Structure 1
Amino acid sequence: MSAGFTFDSDVTVTRVVSTLEYGAIFVGETPAGDKVRVRYLGRTELPMVGDTFAVKGQLSNWTDKFQRLHRQVESKVMKRRAVLGDLLGPFLQRVPNIGPQRAQRLMANYGHDLIQALSDPAKMDEVAGVLEPNKPALAARMTAQLFAAMAEKSAADRVKLAEAEFLVVLEKVGLREPRVANRLWRFCAGVDAIERLNNNPYLAAHLTTWRVADRVGKLLLRKVELGDDLDRHPSRLMGALASVWQELLQEGDSAAILPVVREKLTKRGVDADLALQHAEQIGNLHRRGELIRVPGAAWLEDEVARMLREIEATPGHIILPDEQSLDALIDDAERACELRLTGEQADALRKLMFLPLGVLQGGAGVGKTTVMKVLAYIWERQCGNVVFGALAGKAALQLSRGASTPDSPRLAHTLARLIGMLAQQAAFEADPVNQRRPEIEFNNKTLLVIDEAGMMDTPTFYQLLKLLPKGVRILLAGDDGQLFPVAFGKIFHDLVEERSRVAMLTKVLRQAEGSTIPLAAHQIRNGSAPVLTGWKGETKGVFLVDSEQLDSLQRSDDFMLIAARRQTVDSWNECESLKRRTDRVQIRRLGPLATIASGDPIIITRNRYKYGLFNGLLGTVTNIDGELVQVHFDDEKEPRELPQEAEVDVELAYAITCHKAQGSSAATVVLIADDGMLVTREWLYTGITRGRELVLLNAASHQKLSEAVARRANRTTGFRL
């Protein structure tokens, strides 16, 4: 293929680079095996890997930002191809025992009628004769395999055709967001997808803005409804309410007071009273006191509450010491751990020892890890076993070091690993012959200690609790002064607020080797803006930095940059990644969020429990080989392959938001406190406590810092224990 010529050929999609409102960019192959990049500027087609399109356009050379040359077709005309006989060759050759020669015989004999022939059982003997006329037994076996494969392919093709028709319907009713369209397809997938969509025309309200969902919903309603008053249609009323639920969840709330729900409905142009009345009539309005609860979130919260109550109601299997024996055990633990508890820490320990569900609350530097270490020592002396967990890898590593003694090394695991091990134990107990024995056994003598529990969202609590065997005790340790979890809910914060299960630590003890991080964090947590000096190269403490110093700052291996605004994060990621790109570095586009190269830090943006991946999990890309991407995640010994399904959940992490930083830490942390409402007391406190040795704060002025400390973050939930 030469640049500057008209292109007219079938192209089979091998990789989708990006999908846009007005088209897409993808890489594919022609029937001749030539690779080509297609920039499609139309709206009627949404390419997916494996699709074949008849593409017409102008072929030209295109140079990417890394100065590499590509052959690219600019096309406004692209039609999806049905699978024809001359495109079946590769498929036939993948069927066991067929191979290129037998595939060619079939193609030559049947031509464009091959699909019909392989779909008609009456032609099996005839096809067998074409495959191997002189070996009837072998031909019969191969024909059976071929017809089975063809039946499977035909079913898949019918679904693909249904998907294409479904997406065309969405295009016609004005939905221009490919990611939303794809998610709608996953909801409705099947040959009857269009019928399902017509039965639920406001399904898009769960996935996109109300403006888009309402336009699509009304257009779909007009196809099936004869009346003109669509504004009061029950489907629209429930669609608006679903949109409100979606907005609340995105803000981290699982409930809202009635006036807030009414206001949000009114802003959507909906009669709020009519919508709420209809929801009540069909049993889709969940109330708790003055709160209206988001339906799915309410179910999760109630399930978590039920499981926690069950933990508290289950008799223990550890013989707990009396008060005198406990004092002796504390003395023994202090000697073994080579430490001395404060009175506040000892009181916390005495309370937590007897709680099936305990909550250890304390700010930075108050000695929570010390209490956990002594509690673990005593629990083990009572013939129990202790399992430690934390949200992210670095937090787990830090907990491992802090909770261990020379005689008792204790390994902490990420929540992803814990959930995986619990699932493995359940599988082993169900089928011990065919399943691998779990690394750790959870039983009725286990104390599960979760550090940084304030960062656990409600879905993660649910995933963990539903796998715990009966009799396991839980200690949740954390700090309610930090930001709320990334996803919805704030169960730890709610438990702290309720107070009955809580042991409090308030006295700051840690000021490691001259570092002022705990002191500055304590001041912010209590509502005072610390007076900070400018940075002059110090390696420990909290200092102010200006923009010029930021530009010249050198990244180390143990470094984290946190910004308040999403635009700032994206800008830093782009600049830092480009600095490290060379012609010899292999890069790979991972969906719409990131283009990565070996050595890039990355962050996972979505929970995928079956792969052991959590929102906020950090890692480093170690290898890219074609479609293979290997990542070394923070807490793991070896790199592992990134699941293809999770590629769309990856972002670069040269800079991250403060929410994403929760649960992780670094020796050096840089905070870019962009001017705006996003910077709150909780934001500053969380950001500063990510630093272990040095924190550099880029803030507009001390006045702006004071305003941020006075500004508070809020979240509403319906969780009650």
Structure 2
Amino acid sequence: MEHAVSTEPETTEDGTPEGTAEVSEAQAELEAQRVERERIERRKAEKRGPVESGAKLSGTAAELLAAVRAVESGAKPVGPVFAEEKPVRRPAAPEPARRAAPPRPAVVARSAPDADRVAAVRDVLVAGGAPEALAAPVALALGEGAEDVLRADPWQLLRVPGVRPEQADGFARALLGAESSPGDERRGRALTGWLLEQAALAGHTALELPALTAALAQRGVPDADAAVQDALAEGDALAFQDALDPAAGAQEDAEGEERPVRVLVGLERYALAEESLADGLARLVNSVPKGGGSAEEWERAAAGGGGAAGELARTVAGHGLVLHTGGEASRGESAVLLRAAREVGLRAWAAAHSPLGRDRFAALAGEAVAGVVTVAGLLAGAEGPGRDAEGALDLDLLVVLDAPQLDVETAALLVESLPDGVRLVLGGDPGVLWSVGAGRVFADLLAARTCPRVASRTPDPGPLGELVSGVGVGELTQVEAPGKEVVIVPVRDAGEAVHRTVQLVADSVPRAIGVPAEETVVITPGHGGAAGTRVLNAALKERLNPGPGRFGGFDAGDRVVYSPVPGRVLPGVVVGADRDGLRLSCSGAEVVVPRERVEGWVRHGWALTAHQAVGGRWPAVVVVLPGDAAAALSRPWVYTAFGRAERHLSVVQGVEQALPRAVAEVAAKPRTTRLPVLLAAARGLEQGAEQA
């Protein structure tokens, strides 16, 4: 039985987009994604033969397990081990600091619309009583001839982010008069697309047909089935019939019986991404030899050894795709694998979700070990090894950290960028919040069981580790915290929650724990409300860095989050401002945000949502749970928020029994995706080819 589908956002967080280190990198990433999507479509159009096996690893690859155990056991100090020279077939992996950054692609997509087009759109908006401020977004969304498109179909206004159906209906009535009606086929098509976009914001890559038609009926569409058919006929959406049980379905087909299916409707971009991702993962799995050669060498090197990192390396040796699960402590196993792989000359890299995660993992792997980047920087060409002559990333091993944060489009771009024969390790904690973007890639792969999974047995240490581990299994337990690692602060209302939070950050935590305010982060369920990020940031600014907000609401010294690209947040500090824009320092890099982008791309950052905090950890964390936050709580939210603390966690608690109830009973909201079915189909084709 399929879960009920919600087309509303998954949490009260608004999915504030996160960003890379500077504006040009954000633009480069968008263009890189456009180029990769074109590459995906070309690949799908080609008639591909059997996937060729990847080249066997060099003899030095067989030394990886030995190096792993040497590092892990302490038999060799890290420095001398990786300073030794050994004969290898390939030169040692290059250090990123010593190679020029790969050229960034020219930005040609999504350029600002010209003034004449914006003026023409403005005239149509004014005629329909819509705000003139929408002129540029409409011109950008509808492209050439936007004003004519809008006159012919006023409901196309729904293609602009933030526009609601009731607003588009009012605009249509003003333009069309008596011709406007709830049953207008143009309205039905536009609402179908809008509902699918809203579903994507909530994490779904498609909707079951009954859920979609029910949502259309709730919006006043008299013939929802016809509206969906119109959208399909116009190419605004795609329909799919997926077997509810692919394995059983294949058997029933052989017996001539009808197999049960579900009908899904989705947008083309997510359909292409999921299909490309499934094909790409199958390619990686099939392009690594199943036995003999390098796999046997890796196994011999691992014989008689032990250790968590050794188990991970032994599994990676024989498979092109490996899932590595565990908490914060499991990153140490990935760090050992990366160091050992690079020591034997393999082109090994690790990619984190955020710059904070990148910097933390680089410190864990060792400053002398290069090869740690962000996923965004890797895809944009701003970080990493660059690409080979065929456009694939020039590497042998890629370890992706924070894999639960991969949305389906990013995952597809990443997998399509990998060459045949590469080994891909997707690592992360299954208990944290899923990606801001559509899909649940890591969870789908875990459920599909199409590749090996190595579960770390290394527990997170101390009272904080014990607390978070309990939350992960649905238990909110009281832990012994002799060093005040965990403190509960009960409050009666949101006003008291804000007051106590400011007191904790500015006074109590620095005095009692020794963590200064600039190393403490506040996490709360949403941006709005009486104790959301907006209110908390205003109160924290007034106490920690008061000022008139002379730079577009900001002052030098303000903590901020910079977010030019959807899905990522980069914390920083305001340095100043000049004619070029607002100047920030983000993870050691200087960022200049143009004046016209400040309002949309920069927020104050003493207080964050849990989604914004994913991928980062801070010495001290204050989690704020006012009484009105109870409905937003879930086990993944609490697990993620509590898990951001390294040394100290204060919980400002106003939800009373709603907190343990959420931990025990409220799991992640289900997401409708097609990836499990596509993975099962790919596996079935592979098995059929082997039997043939």
So what's the TM-score if we normalise by structure 2? 0.68
Counterparts of residues 23-34 of structure 1 (less than 5 Å): none
The runs of 5 or more residues in structure 2 that have no matched partner are: 1-110, 243-261, 492-496, 507-515, 680-692
In structure 2, distance between residues paired with 1:177 and 1:351: 59
Q: 2:650 aligns with which of 658, 676, 696?
A: 696
2:54 alignment partner in structure 1: none
Q: Which residue of 2 aligns with 1:520?
A: 467
1:242-641 aligned within 5 A: 242-270=193-221, 271-283=223-235, 284-289=237-242, 290=262, 291-315=264-288, 321-322=294-295, 326=299, 328-329=301-302, 341-342=307-308, 346-362=310-326, 364-365=327-328, 367-380=329-342, 383-404=345-366, 409-421=369-381, 442-443=393-394, 445-505=395-455, 507-511=457-461, 515-531=462-478, 538=483, 540-541=485-486, 543-544=488-489, 546=491, 547=497, 549-553=500-504, 554=506, 556-567=517-528, 568-580=532-544, 587-589=550-552, 595-607=553-565, 615-634=568-587, 637-641=588-592
Number of matched residues? Answer: 519
Taking the aligned partners of 2:287 and 2:115, their CA distance within structure 1 comes to 51
Greater share of residues in helix = 2
Aligned-pair CA distance for 1:521 = 1.0
Q: 2:601 maps to what in 1?
A: 649
Secondary structure, in 3 states, of the residue corresponding to 1:676?
helix
The 5 Å alignment of 1:108-187 reads 159-176=114-131, 178=133, 180-187=134-141
In terms of mean alpha carbon deviation, does 250-259 or 558-567 score higher? 250-259
When residues 233 and 666 of structure 1 are mapped into structure 2, their CA distance, relative to the original with a 3 A threshold, is same
1:659 aligns with 2:611: yes
The answer to whether the 8 Å contact 1:597/1:621 transfers is yes
Q: 1:559 Cα deviation (Å)? A: 1.4
State how far apart, in whole Å, the 2-side matches of 1:157 and 1:287 are.
35
Aligned partners of 1:532 and 1:543 also within 8 Å: no
| Larger Rg over CA atoms | 1
Residue 229 of structure 1 and its aligned partner are, at CA, apart by 7.2
Alpha-carbon offset, residue 691 of structure 1: 1.0
Instruction: Tell whether the 8 Å contact from 2:290 to 2:319 is kept in structure 1 after alignment.
Output: no
SS of the residue corresponding to residue 140 of structure 2 reads: helix
Question: What is the one-letter code of the residue matched to 2:120?
Answer: E
The counterpart of 1:708, out of the listed 658, 662, 682, is 662
Which residue of structure 1 aligns with residue 641 of structure 2?
687
> CA 1:446–1:310 in structure 2 vs 1: closer, same or farther (change >3 Å)?
same
Cα distance between partner residues in 2 of 1:672 and 1:316: 51
Residue pair 1:276, 1:285 contacting (<8 A) in 2 also: no
Find the residue that maps to 1:669 and give its secondary structure.
strand
Q: For structure 1, list consecutive stretches of 5 or more residues without a partner in the other structure.
A: 1-155, 333-339, 432-440, 590-594, 609-613
Contact 1:630–1:641 (Cα < 8 Å) also in 2: yes
Kindly state the Cα deviation for residue 162 of structure 1 after the two structures are TM-superposed.
4.1
Which protein is richer in strand relative to its size? 1
Contact 1:558 1:667 in 2 (8 A): yes
Shift, 1:282, TM fit = 4.0
Residues 625 and 653 in structure 2, CA contact (< 8 A), matched pair in contact too: yes
Q: CA deviation at 1:427?
A: 8.0
Residue among 677, 692, 708 paired with 2:631: 677
Paired with 1:315 and 1:486, the residues of 2 have a C-alpha distance of 32
Q: Secondary structure at the match of 2:632?
A: coil
Distance 2:388 2:298 in 1: 38
Instruction: Give the Cα separation in 2 of the matches to 1:620 and 1:157.
Output: 28
Query: Shift in Å at residue 508 of structure 1?
Result: 4.8
Q: How does 1:13-24 map to 2 (within 5 A)?
A: none
Q: Are the counterparts in 1 of residues 502 and 543 from structure 2 also a CA contact under 8 Å? A: no
- CA shift, 1:716, in A, is 2.1
Deviations 1:566-603 (A, max 9, x none): 221110112222345556x77322xxxxx222222222
Secondary structure of 2:551's counterpart equals strand
CA shift, 1:701, in A, is: 5.4
- Per-residue deviation, 1:352: 2.8
Higher relative contact order (CA 8 A, sep 6+): 2
Task: Say if 1:672 and 1:698, in contact at 8 Å, map to a contact too.
Answer: yes
Q: Quote the Cα distance in structure 2 between the aligned partners of 1:381 and 1:449.
A: 15
The alignment partner of 2:654 has SS state of coil
> Identity of counterpart residues, as a percentage?
20
